[in-house]
Amino acid sequence: MDDRRREIRHGALLIRDNIIEQIGTTEELPDTADEILDLADKHIVLPGLINTHHHFFQTLTRATPAGQNGDLFQWLTAHYPLWSNLTAEGMYYSSQMAAAELILSGCTTASDHHYLFPNNCILDEQIRAVADIGLRFHASRGSMSVGESQGGLPPDSLVEKEDYILKDSQRLIEEYHDNSRYSMLKIVLAPCSPFSVSIDLMKESAAMARSYEGVRLHTHLAENKGDVEYSLSKFKLIPGDYAESVGWLGEDVWHAHCVKLSDRSIAQFGQTGTGVAHCPCSNMRLASGIAPIRKMLNASVPVGLGVDGAASNDATNLLHEARTAFLLARVRDEDGAAMTAREALELATRGGAKVLGRDDIGYLAPGMAADFIAINIDRPSFVGANQDFVAATILCQTDYIDYSFINGKKIVDRGNLTTIELEKLREKTNQAAIKLVNK
């Protein structure tokens, strides 16, 4: 996925510390190193995939019966009472479980949009959980400040005071945000949605983010027709114009979903470099519709992929998300050329990097971060795919990767996580999920 989109047979990478130093064929590279991983021509090596939108805590409420057959607003209303029971422990284990699933599906960088802080939960717990497993992370300080009594969707018990939201946002930026090249942790400011925060909070969050180098902005926008109707009723503006009115267009902003973004707004996004996190599985699950991704790409809108919440997907597999994005683009336009397999891979790699504002991840080249994955092609789902193994990573159903290196460290070795005990994590997360529901 480099600038020339090279596909190198019998390829090799030379990594020094956490940076790619050389790329070429095996014959072209040095044959000595402190460690040599010989994949014996049975693997395809790709840049690590990038997840641009998620809600890690929702891992605790997958397949919840309440709201299972509803649209976005019905689903949210059914889940708020459960989510009000979230604890710091539940936040830690659900975040780490989501990170584990992402890593095993090829993800090496993720952004999570966390906007619920009941029971003394703080974003620090999520940051600690993700650091412990080794995923490159963009942690979003989300927020909700407009409850039901003020015309918002969430219950009043789950909203925060805006002065506290801004104070905590500043604390997190100053304590954790690392804007250096190859950074493993960046902070994002992310008021939740037009139907859960005020115009003032949107504007003040934008002003705060832009007072620090490399702090980006993220929210939900134009997710379904109900979202558009709320925007017209509350603000007298379509979602794209609302975003413009609060200063949320620009290269430092990306919006999740954008299923119902108008053609004029798509053009605005392209002109301003405003990004989109495309979440095809969640959009289908909540009957929101199919985002016009081909239109966005043609208009030069930066587009990446998002798995979205583990309770609205209900999976956390970025390879599957890329495949679904590929298929849905063709279904929406009824055009077999609406998206190619390689374009879907590009959304999952370079596209995600651009959306997150990074030039050090997303493709394999000298000077880039040593984030890469390897998939064993000697598996049943790849039988008969000898003519095009690159396309097969999208066209064929690939569940998990075999190797993952993040920041030069081996995080997955022959399908197994090296940084945590997955079985122990599974048990802890299940216990937290049961506690949340029983409470």
Which own/partner contact pairs does 157-160 have at CB distance under 8 Å and 24+ positions apart? 157/84, 157/118, 158/80, 158/83, 158/84, 158/116, 158/118, 159/196, 160/117
| CA gap 420, 296 in Å, rounded | 39
- For residues 116, 417, 354 and 206, what is the CA-based torsion angle, rounded to 10 degrees? 20
DSSP secondary structure string, 328-349? HHHHHHT-TTSS-HHHHHHIII
**360 inside domain:** no
pTM: 0.98
DSSP class per residue in 124-148 = HHHHHHHHHHT-EEEEEEEE----G
Question: How many domains, the chain?
Answer: 1
**DSSP secondary structure, 256-299, as one string:** EE-TT--HHHHHHHHHHT-EEEE-HHHHHHTT-----HHHHHHT
Mean pLDDT of 361-372: 98
Give me the pLDDT at residue 31, please: 84
Backbone angles phi, psi at 25, to 5 degrees: -80, 165
Q: What is the pLDDT of residues 35-88, one digit of tens each?
A: 999 998 799 999 999 999 999 999 999 999 989 999 999 999 999 999 999 999
102-119: pLDDT as tens digits = 999 999 999 999 999 999
104 lies in some domain = yes
Q: Model confidence at 407, in pLDDT bands (50, 70, 90)?
A: very high
Q: How far is the C-alpha of 15 from the C-alpha of 36, rounded, in Å? A: 10
Q: What is the mean pLDDT of the chain?
A: 97
Residue 381 counted as domain residue: no
Residue 439 has pLDDT above 90, yes or no: no
| Any domain includes 6 | no
The C-alpha R_g of the chain, in whole angstroms, comes to: 21
DSSP-based three-state secondary structure for 168: helix
Q: Which two tokens stand for residue 227?
A: 């979202």
Residue 153: per-residue pLDDT = 94
Gap between the Cα atoms of 361 and 186, Å rounded:
14
Alpha carbons 6 and 238: distance in angstroms, whole number: 42
- Residues 275-326 have pLDDT tens digits of 999 999 999 999 999 999 999 999 999 999 999 999 999 999 999 999 999 9
249 within a domain of the structure (yes/no) = yes
Query: Would you say residue 385 lies in a domain?
Result: no
Range of the domain at 57: 49-355
The pLDDT of residue 397 is 87
**Sequence-separated (6 or more) residues with CB below 8 Å from residue 233:** none
Rounded to whole angstroms, how far apart are CA atoms 265 and 244?
9
DSSP state of 188: E
pLDDT tens sequence across 176-214: 999 999 999 999 999 999 999 999 999 999 999 999 999
If you average pLDDT over residues 253-267, what whole number do you get? Answer: 98
169 in any annotated domain: yes
Report the distance separating Cα 251 and Cα 274, nearest Å.
5
At 41 the pLDDT is: 78
- Can you list the positions of beta strands (E) in 124-242? 136-143, 185-191, 216-221
Amino acid at 161: K
d(C-alpha 260, C-alpha 360), whole Å: 32
**CATH code of the domain covering residue 144:** 3.20.20.140
- Answer whether residue 108 is part of any domain: yes
Rounded to an integer, what distance in angstroms lies between the CA atom of residue 53 and that of residue 257?
9
Check residues 32 and 169 and name the one with the higher pLDDT. 169
Q: Is the pLDDT of residue 32 over 90?
A: no
Residue 365 has pLDDT above 90, yes or no: yes
